[in-house]
Amino acid sequence: MNNQDTAQDQSPALKHINRGAILHVNGDLEGAREQYERALEYEPKNATALNNLGYVLAQQGKITDAMHCYQQAIDIAPDRSSPYSNLGNAYAMLDDYETAIRLQQEAIERDPQNLTALNNLGQLYMLRHQYPEAADAWRRYLAIEPDNARILTQLATVLAPQKQMDDAMQLLQRAVRIAPDNAHAWAQIGVLHFTNNDLGFAMEALNRAVSLDPNHADARHQLAVVLTTRGDRQAAWEQIKTLLALQPDHRSARVDGAVLRLAQGHPREALDLITPVYEEQPEDVRVRYYMASALCGVDDPQGMRMMRGVADTSVEPFKGWATRYLQNELRTPGKGYDA
């Protein structure tokens, strides 16, 4: 998501900038930083050196120092695009998305061909769920570089929530024709097929995504959802187990795994899975319902109290499920719950 300037001339400062760029590309951040600082010893107001130094500092986690460098580069060369985009990225890292968006827009005003800034703008709008604006940024990107499979996939991702399913599918199919090994595009194709209840096609696309990238969490999770829908709970559980081995804190996988283990008669495992999620999201009614179900499954009295709380909400279908559970418990001889 960053822009890095390169230098062409061979003045002492620019020699250090070029050396820094080579070190940076090769992953030597500290060496690159030293070269950019050497360049600034020769030319303290070299906007390229300041911009690139800021880029390195940001990667090293020194966001405040990076922002200072970017701002200096802007003050020295206000018509250059990349420092605005990089400063916008820094504000995004501080969760100031409004300022980040404004700075990406300023970068694009100065250079409408700045593909990095256009992509950054799309990403920021997507994070804010401003899907039409994200789509506009990525369409502008594709007007310049129409065969970028990654951007085609990202555009499809924000069209789907806008119910533009056919357009999204066409973009994704185009993306996998351009880049057949694009696991994310195959995963999104699977999601769209699942949305259309085309479970067979969804399975095919998601299996393709997982085969291309076994660590693709979203594809593996969606594959588990499809398998559950098809009634193959054990296969779904195997996918959840694999996903949690890769990402133990994957919240959706933990909740869906708990649902599966409850259905398979393993409430203790379900409780172990869902408890960390409940501790982080106690107000989420879905999480509360399955937490209550797991507690009830291990005969913990807290489960019945929690189930009553879910029944008192207005969130369906969990309100109805909790109410029926409580009614069934009251009808069971010798069972009930404390007031």
45, 48, 49, 50 alpha-carbon torsion, rounded to 10°: 70
Instruction: Compute the residue count for the chain.
Output: 339
pLDDT digits (tens, 9 = 90+) for 183-209: 999 999 999 999 999 999 999 999 999
pLDDT digits (tens, 9 = 90+) for 273-295: 999 999 999 999 999 999 999 99
pLDDT at 8 over 90: no
Question: What is the pLDDT, as a whole number, of residue 335?
Answer: 45
Q: Are 135 and 154 in contact (CB under 8 A)?
A: no
- Domain coordinates of the chain in residue numbers? 1-106, 249-339
Mean pLDDT value across residues 315-330? 92
Reported confidence tier of residue 263, pLDDT bands at 50, 70, 90: very high
Instruction: Considering the domain delimited by 249-339, tell me its CATH architecture.
Output: Alpha Horseshoe (1.25)
Reported confidence tier of residue 10, pLDDT bands at 50, 70, 90: confident
Residue type for position 180: P
pLDDT digits (tens, 9 = 90+) for 133-177: 999 999 999 999 999 999 999 999 999 999 999 999 999 999 999
pLDDT at 328 over 80: yes
- Tokens 């199919």: give the residue: 173
Question: What is the pLDDT, as a whole number, of residue 331?
Answer: 64
Reported confidence tier of residue 5, pLDDT bands at 50, 70, 90: low
Structure tokens at 53: 């130094």
Question: What is the pLDDT, as a whole number, of residue 217?
Answer: 95
pLDDT digits (tens, 9 = 90+) for 104-119: 999 999 999 999 999 9
pLDDT digits (tens, 9 = 90+) for 238-261: 999 999 999 999 999 999 999 999
Q: For the chain, what is the mean pLDDT?
A: 94
Question: What is the pLDDT, as a whole number, of residue 336?
Answer: 40
**HSE-CB of 149 using CA atoms within 13 angstroms:** 15
Three-state secondary structure string covering the chain: CCCCCCCCCCCHHHHHHHHHHHHHHCCCHHHHHHHHHHHHHHCCCCHHHHHHHHHHHHHCCCHHHHHHHHHHHHHHCCCCCHHHHHHHHHHHHCCCHHHHHHHHHHHHHHCCCCHHHHHHHHHHHHHCCCHHHHHHHHHHHHHHCCCCHHHHHHHHHHHHHHCCHHHHHHHHHHHHHHCCCCHHHHHHHHHHHHHCCCHHHHHHHHHHHHHHCCCCHHHHHHHHHHHHHCCCHHHHHHHHHHHHHHCCCCHHHHHHHHHHHHHCCCHHHHHHHHHHHHHHCCCCHHHHHHHHHHHHHCCCHHHHHHHHHHHCCCCCCHHHHHHHHHHHHHHCCCCCCCC
Exposed / middle / buried, residue 221 (Cβ in 10 Å: 0-12, 13-18, 19+): buried
Exposed / middle / buried, residue 201 (Cβ in 10 Å: 0-12, 13-18, 19+): middle
Would you say the CATH fold of 249-339 matches that of 1-106?
yes
Structure tokens at 5: 């300037």
Percentage of residues in the chain with pLDDT exceeding 90? Answer: 94
CATH class of 1-106: mainly alpha
Distances (CA, A) of 183 to 205, 210, 214: 9, 7, 9
Mean pLDDT value across residues 29-44? 95
Structure tokens at 95: 């969760």
Reported confidence tier of residue 1, pLDDT bands at 50, 70, 90: low
Reported confidence tier of residue 333, pLDDT bands at 50, 70, 90: low
Q: How far apart are CA 53 and CA 182, in angstroms?
A: 33
Question: What is the pLDDT, as a whole number, of residue 223?
Answer: 97
Structure tokens at 232: 């193959």
Max intra-chain CA distance, the chain = 91
Reported confidence tier of residue 338, pLDDT bands at 50, 70, 90: very low
Question: What is the pLDDT, as a whole number, of residue 339?
Answer: 25
